[in-house]
């Protein structure tokens, strides 16, 4: 059988061993472990009834769940890029291709939500994708299962979304705000604009102009969705090179819909390839094959400390965008398809990567917090809170992540960094410790003339802090630092690591992802008058 998947290419990689047997094995897995009754795996464009589901038999947490149950704004961990079995494979021997349930990603949405709860997430987004007519699969199958999952796992806010086959670019998340019309809104977006929705494929749907139309469409909705670019350098062929997704596209998207196109994955998912343990006979890579994948399935040019080169290089593309004053935020996700213990290259949602947003635990507040850049990200549960505030010495006004401090020429700026690691050991029995925190500083010089610009030469590491420079105040670690005499518009951002690398180094294949952990804040802007 000819099959294709538009996920990681993992299944493409092993297509020669993909067989009816492999497909049946996967269905057997679902049936055995999740008590699913699936009458047929081939969905045949909606002619079959959706599979009946019962509550998945997910193992009880071995660690106490850390979901926040209080009220008021606080740091809420989440993941906006999670696949379920409705990320279908395709049998391309039929015309049009026939979607195959569970052939790209395998788990029911409820399983993903249960795992999100287990690993301490307060919110998640279901982001399935597929080929021709996938908007119907999302609408008719994934959405009803999402509603079941919301009822079954009420501790986790669960948004409906999609991994958009982005016109003229690599994938992106579209996150739909909660609402009675959320399913129809997503169907409208996917059916009108997903570049692989029609068969045969349409070149017209794969032009940047189509993406601009998509963003204009989303920008007119109330409330507006948000969109994050996925694994932006996965297709890049070298350092400083860009693949399917380019700097020009980010600028054009953000220009046309600055409240919708708001950022990118700083750290992509698929970080568990070196841990992959095929043991269930699935049509997934062999042990050796999986370990040939770089972190993030970045096989052409590696990630750096698990982060995309666009984010990880100081003075690189992210800093170039921030140097224009763009509100362009970074996130970290699982891209969960198949867990590493079951032959995949993925962690569960929240198991390794977390996107924290400062918000009330309501869908509306989480979307607002994401849009406002009140976001920090970490891998490996290095930290669980990160508060950064800046104020001019002698003044009262403060600004925090995503915000802007108004100051005067000549002001001294006091920066206070507080972080917290109260999580204890991870489920793997690891309790990584922060070895260093860096304060990064760059100038905001306004829009660039060349939309392909990829550098901000003013950005540098302003200061590096190790334990001798910080104090423990209660359960928080506190660092203070003074920047003298600000004269220009600028921004500050923070990163930290458990390594001794001064800058994140390209990740070798086979690297244990738990040994090379980083956290990143989003920026605070300083506007000088």
Instruction: Give the binding site for Zn ion (CB under 5 A).
Output: 163, 171, 230, 335
**Token pair of 117 as six digits:** 């709860």
Measured in degrees and rounded to the nearest 5, phi and psi for residue 367 equal: -60, -40
H or E element in which residue 227 lies? strand 226-229
Nearer to Zn ion, 335 or 342 (CB): 335
**Minimum Å distance from CB 233 to Zn ion?**
13
**Minimum Å distance from CB 337 to Zn ion?**
7
Give the C-alpha separation, 80 to 123, whole Å. 8
Measured in degrees and rounded to the nearest 5, phi and psi for residue 296 equal: 75, 5
Pick from 380, 443, 387: nearest CA to 415: 387
**Whether residue 223 has a cis bond before it, omega within 30° of 0:** yes
Nearer to Zn ion, 163 or 411 (CB): 163
The strand pairing partners of 52, in sequence order, are 37
Provide the H-helix boundaries in 158-313: 182-193, 208-219, 247-256, 287-291, 309-312
3 state SS of 136: helix
**Minimum Å distance from CB 335 to Zn ion?**
4
Nearer to Zn ion, 26 or 171 (CB): 171
**Minimum Å distance from CB 141 to Zn ion?**
18
Nearer to Zn ion, 163 or 381 (CB): 163
Nearer to Zn ion, 117 or 171 (CB): 171
Give the C-alpha separation, 112 to 105, whole Å. 11
Nearer to Zn ion, 121 or 390 (CB): 121
| Residue with the shortest CB distance to Zn ion | 171
Cα angle at 372 between 389 and 69, to 5 degrees? 80
Nearer to Zn ion, 170 or 381 (CB): 170
**Minimum Å distance from CB 8 to Zn ion?**
7
**Minimum Å distance from CB 173 to Zn ion?**
8
Give the burial class of 5: count Cβ atoms within 10 A of its Cβ; 0-12 exposed, 13-18 middle, 19 or more buried. Answer: buried
Residue tagged 């290095």 (tokens)? 382
Please give the C-alpha separations between residue 49 and each of 43, 53, 54, 140, 459, in angstroms, as whole numbers. Answer: 8, 12, 15, 10, 56
Nearer to Zn ion, 370 or 390 (CB): 370
**Minimum Å distance from CB 145 to Zn ion?**
18
3 state SS of 190: helix
Nearer to Zn ion, 163 or 194 (CB): 163
**Minimum Å distance from CB 163 to Zn ion?**
5
Pick from 136, 260, 127, 262: nearest CA to 188: 136
Residues 6+ apart with CB under 8 A from 255: none
**Minimum Å distance from CB 210 to Zn ion?**
18
**Minimum Å distance from CB 476 to Zn ion?**
35
3 state SS of 454: coil
Nearer to Zn ion, 214 or 382 (CB): 214
3 state SS of 351: coil
């Amino acid at each position: 059988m000819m099959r294709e998947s538009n996920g990681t290419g993992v299944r493409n990689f092993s297509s020669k061993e993909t067989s009816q047997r492999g497909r049946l094995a996967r269905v057997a897995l679902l049936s055995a472990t999740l008590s699913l009754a699936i009458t047929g795996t081939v969905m045949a464009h909606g002619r079959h009834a959706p599979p009946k589901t019962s509550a998945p038999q997910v193992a009880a947490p071995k660690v106490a769940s850390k979901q926040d149950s209080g009220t008021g704004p606080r740091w809420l961990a989440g993941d906006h890029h999670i696949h379920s079995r409705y990320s279908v494979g395709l049998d391309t021997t039929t015309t049009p291709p026939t979607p195959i349930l569970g052939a790209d990603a395998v788990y029911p949405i409820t399983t993903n939500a249960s795992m999100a709860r287990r690993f301490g997430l307060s919110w998640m987004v279901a982001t399935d994708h597929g080929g021709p007519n996938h908007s119907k699969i999302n609408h008719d199958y994934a959405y009803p299962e999402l509603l079941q999952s919301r009822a079954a796992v009420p501790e986790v806010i669960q948004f409906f979304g999609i991994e958009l086959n982005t016109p003229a670019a690599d994938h992106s998340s579209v996150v739909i705000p909660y609402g009675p019309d959320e399913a129809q809104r997503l169907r409208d977006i996917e059916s009108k604009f997903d570049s692989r929705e029609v068969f045969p494929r349409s070149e017209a749907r794969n032009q940047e102009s189509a993406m601009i139309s998509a963003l204009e469409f989303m920008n007119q909705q109330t409330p507006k969705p948000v969109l994050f670019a996925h694994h932006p350098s996965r297709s890049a062929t070298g350092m400083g090179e860009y693949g399917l997704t380019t700097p020009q596209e980010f600028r054009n998207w953000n220009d046309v819909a600055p409240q919708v196109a708001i950022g990118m994955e700083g750290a992509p998912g698929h970080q568990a390839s070196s841990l992959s343990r095929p043991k269930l006979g699935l049509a997934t890579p062999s042990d050796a094959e999986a370990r040939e994948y770089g972190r993030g399935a970045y096989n052409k040019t590696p990630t750096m400390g698990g982060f995309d080169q666009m984010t990880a290089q100081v003075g690189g593309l992210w800093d170039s965008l921030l140097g224009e004053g763009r509100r362009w935020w970074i996130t970290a996700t699982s891209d969960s398809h198949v867990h590493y213990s079951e032959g995949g290259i993925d962690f569960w949602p929240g198991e390794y990567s977390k996107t924290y947003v400062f918000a009330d635990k309501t869908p509306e507040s989480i979307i607002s917090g994401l849009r406002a850049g009140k976001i920090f990200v970490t891998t490996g549960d290095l930290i669980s809170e990160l508060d950064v505030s800046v104020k001019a010495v002698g003044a009262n006004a403060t600004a925090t992540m995503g915000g802007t401090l108004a100051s005067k020429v000549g002001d001294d700026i006091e920066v206070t960094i507080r972080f917290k690691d109260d999580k204890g050991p991870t489920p793997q029995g690891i309790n990584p410790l922060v070895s260093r925190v860096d304060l990064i500083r760059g100038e905001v010089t306004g829009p660039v003339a060349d939309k392909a610009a990829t550098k901000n030469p003013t950005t540098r590491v302003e200061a590096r802090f190790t334990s001798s420079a910080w104090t423990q105040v209660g359960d928080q670690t506190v660092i203070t630092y003074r920047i003298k005499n600000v004269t220009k518009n600028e921004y500050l951002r923070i990163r930290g690591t458990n390594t001794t690398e001064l800058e994140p180094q390209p990740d070798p294949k086979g690297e244990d992802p738990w040994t090379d952990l980083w956290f990143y804040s989003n920026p605070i802007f300083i506007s000088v008058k």
